[in-house]
Structure formats: C-alpha cells, structure tokens
C-alpha cells in the first residue's frame, strides 16, 4: 500500500493507534495486571482518538485543527504513563505517542 497520499499527521496517528493497541494488548498479558490498568486505559483512549484524528485529517474536516489539538493532548497523556514502564511495548508506544503529538501540534497550529 502506498501511503504517499496520507499527510504526515494522519500517518503518525495511524502508527500511534496501532502502537497503543499493541501495547494495551501486551499489557493485558502482564503478570501484574493491576499495575498496568492505567497504561491499558490510556492506550485504548489514545488509540481511539488517533483513529478519529486520522480520519478527520484525511477528509479535511473543518474540525481537524481542534481534533489534532485533542489528539496531541491524548498522546502526551499516554506517553507519560507508558514511559514509566520498562517493557519494550510500552517504550515503543511512548515514542509513537511523542511523535504523533508532535505531528498533531503542527496541524493544530
């Protein structure tokens, strides 16, 4: 699939959504599930917001700037929690969230 027609923001959102979903799924398999509850919740919320943001961006919605601002906020919130955990999936998710937040801030400006 050629993604050249997707904006950098939309690509970052899709990548982040997948990273968040992967992280939440991996966290559900952790031995200390209670310790990962907040991480899972933030990842699931972020994944949903990123999906919506990518769709709004691609269709050039008049709400895309506000959606990008909200997405950046959700990504920062998720990265904050995932960054606390040493698991590789959490660290990858935190990085994807930081990159997505950066791209979303560009679009929201």
Domains of the chain (ranges, CATH numbers): 8-108 (1.20.1270.360)
Reported pTM:
0.91
How far is 75 from 106, CA to CA, in rounded Å? 14
CA distance 44 to 39: 9
Residue 48 has pLDDT above 60, yes or no: yes
3-state secondary structure of 80: helix
pLDDT digits (tens, 9 = 90+) for 89-99: 999 999 999 99
What is d(CA 79, CA 106) in angstroms, rounded to the nearest whole number? 18
Helix (H, G, I), strand (E, B) or coil at 68: helix
Query: Which among 34, 18, 11, 32 is positioned nearest to 100, based on CA atoms?
Result: 11
**Residue 3: band (very low, low, confident or very high) from pLDDT cuts 50, 70, 90:** very low
* Tokens coding 107: 């679009």
pLDDT at 33: 86
Residues 77-87 pLDDT 10s: 999 999 999 99
Q: pLDDT tens digits for 12-46?
A: 999 999 999 999 999 999 888 888 999 999 999 99
């Amino acid at each position: 699939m050629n993604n050249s027609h997707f904006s950098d923001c939309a690509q970052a959102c899709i990548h982040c959504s997948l990273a968040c979903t992967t992280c939440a799924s991996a966290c559900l398999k952790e031995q200390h599930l209670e310790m990962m509850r907040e991480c899972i919740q933030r990842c699931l919320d972020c994944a949903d917001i990123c999906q919506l943001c990518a769709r709004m961006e691609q269709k050039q919605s008049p709400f895309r700037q506000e959606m990008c601002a909200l997405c950046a906020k959700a990504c920062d919130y998720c990265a904050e929690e995932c960054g606390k955990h040493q698991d590789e999936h959490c660290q990858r998710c935190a990085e994807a969230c930081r990159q997505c937040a950066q791209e979303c801030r560009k679009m929201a400006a």
